[in-house]
Amino acid sequence: MLDSLKSWKTRVLDQQAKLLGFLLLLKSGRGYRGGREAPRADAGRRYKVIVWGTGFVGKQIIRQLRDHPRFELVGVIVHAADKDGQDVGELCGLPPMGLRASRDARAVLAREADAVAYFGPTAEHLAENLANMTLAMRMGKHVVSTAMTPLVYPAACPTAVAGTLQEVCLATGKACFTTGIDPGFANDLVPMTLMGVCGRVERVRVQEILDYASYAGDYAPMGLGRPMEHRAMLENPEVLIYGWGHTVPMMADALGAELEKIDTVWEKWATPVEIRYPHGVIPAGCCAAIRFEIRGWVKGEPRIVLEHCNRVTQAAAPDWPRGKMYPHDVYRVIIEGEPCIEQEMALRDRATGDPNRAGCLATGMRAVHAIPAVCAAKPGLLSPLDLPLLPGFGNLRAR
């Protein structure tokens, strides 16, 4: 009995000693002398930013930059004459900010700034975009952009485009990073992160399932709203791959896979009845939905596939893919391998719930959050493979 009591007391004392030791461990502080101190938003560098372009994306980015602790908006360049001289806040539906938009790009670029966030037109306007991005770097600014989607992976971009900008980067000592518009991170960062937890990847499919009814942009490249016999610009395989497909070789290179070819699949759907939506009307018999694939072939099979299923209203193409989290407006990654992974992501605007608005904001903010890393990088064209994790330093704050 006495031995049993001693044994019980010994166990209690051992437990108390372990608890005391654990509490002392917790009280010992964090980190160690010589280790890297965690960065603090109130002590970090604030980057001065010029926004070039006040379309659907640019205006949303300006709203975010007006009080961001990490970035200071110092200039806004516009194209339209009716925007010239307007207060930037009023231009974006905000109270006056005391900063005026200007069409004089050189005058704005002459201001002290770290980077230009370039939200110009699509890659269809190649010459204009190259001229503007070149000017920004020659006037001493790094560039982050959403405009030239072929530059999301410079290694796959034609030399006439990537080579030209690379020479400018090296001559000016500046770096340039372009992220996609659909949105780019859904086609590169998300699938590559998920593939990084696999022991084996047999194939990967990245899907955009999106209702364009709330989108106020240009539908012409896709042919939405046009007669079925009309051949839209993106129906051309070379154009489609050039504009939207460079994440396929990016993922292949990240995986160490050798691509045999890249091809495309294009389908379109004719509405049997007239479709009315917030930005127009699609007559009966015209195209109200498109579905395409950009396929990277490895060992005789399409193993890396980007798929877009885009419709105008949910009445269109009822038998085509839909989301599981929500029936529409989702991005999905499907990986066959070890393990198999299916991930679905939905982006929604906080005030309206609009997915198109949310997607455009997320696209632009990825470019903006890359600015510190771009400023610290060696001169040249950058891709997501060249950048560290961009968690949004300074983002955790109240409204």
Closest CA to 91 of 55, 116, 45: 55
CA-CA distance, 233 to 357, in Å (whole number)? 24
What's residue 112's pLDDT? 98
**What is the predicted pLDDT for the residue at 56?**
87
Burial of 397 (0-12, 13-18, 19+ CB in 10 A): exposed
The share of the chain scoring above pLDDT 70, in percent, equals 91
Considering the four listed CATH numbers 3.50.50, 1.10.390, 3.30.70, 3.30.360, the one that applies to the domain covering 184-346 is 3.30.360
pLDDT digits (tens, 9 = 90+) for 308-364: 999 999 999 999 999 999 888 999 999 999 999 999 999 999 999 988 889 889 999
Pairing of strands 280-282, 275-277: antiparallel
pLDDT tens digit string along 175-227?
Answer: 999 998 766 789 899 999 999 999 999 999 999 999 988 877 778 889 999 99
**What is the pLDDT at residue 26?**
66
For residue 27, the number of C-alpha atoms closer than 13 Å in the C-beta half-sphere is 6
101 CB-near residues (< 8 Å, 6+ apart): 54, 76, 77, 78, 83, 84, 85, 86, 87, 88, 91
Closest alpha carbon to 360 in 186, 205, 240: 186
Q: What is the pLDDT of residues 2-28, one digit of tens each?
A: 566 567 667 766 777 777 776 676 676
**H-run or E-run covering 117:** strand 115-118
Residue 214 DSSP label:
G
394: left (phi over 0), alpha (psi -120 to 50) or beta: left
Question: What is the model's pTM?
Answer: 0.88
In the prediction, which pLDDT does 217 show?
72
Which helix or strand (DSSP H or E) is residue 52 part of? strand 47-52
How high is the pLDDT of residue 224?
95
Report pLDDT for 171: 98
CB atoms closer than 10 angstroms to residue 282: 23
Distance CA 146, CA 185 (A): 11
Mean pLDDT, residues 294-306 taken together: 97
Mean pLDDT of 78-87: 96
Mean pLDDT of the chain: 90
Cα separation, 256 vs 134, in Å, equals: 32
Side-chain half-sphere exposure of 205, counting CA atoms within 13 A: 16
Q: What is the model's pLDDT at position 22?
A: 64
Q: Are 177 and 367 in contact (CB under 8 A)?
A: yes
Per the structure block, which two tokens stand in for 131?
């001229």
Query: Which two structure tokens, joined as six digits, stand for 172?
Result: 């000016």
What residue spans define the domains of the chain? 47-182+363-386, 184-346
Same fold, 47-182+363-386 and 184-346: no
Q: Is the pLDDT of residue 376 over 90?
A: yes
| Per-residue pLDDT at 1 | 57
pLDDT at 219: 81
Predicted pLDDT at 194:
97
Tell me the percentage of the chain whose pLDDT exceeds 90: 73
pLDDT in tens, 378-396: 999 999 999 998 888 888 8
Region 226-253: mean pLDDT is 94
d(CA 323, CA 210): 9
Choosing among 3.90.79.10, 3.40.50.720, 3.30.70.260, 3.40.50.1370, the CATH entry for 47-182+363-386 is 3.40.50.720
56 or 154: which leads in pLDDT = 154
Phi-psi region of 85 (alpha: psi -120 to 50; beta: other; left: phi over 0): left
Tell me how far CA of residue 261 lies from CA of 16, 135, 241, 258, in angstroms.
Answer: 66, 36, 11, 9
pLDDT at res. 14: 74
Question: Residue 232 has what pLDDT?
Answer: 94
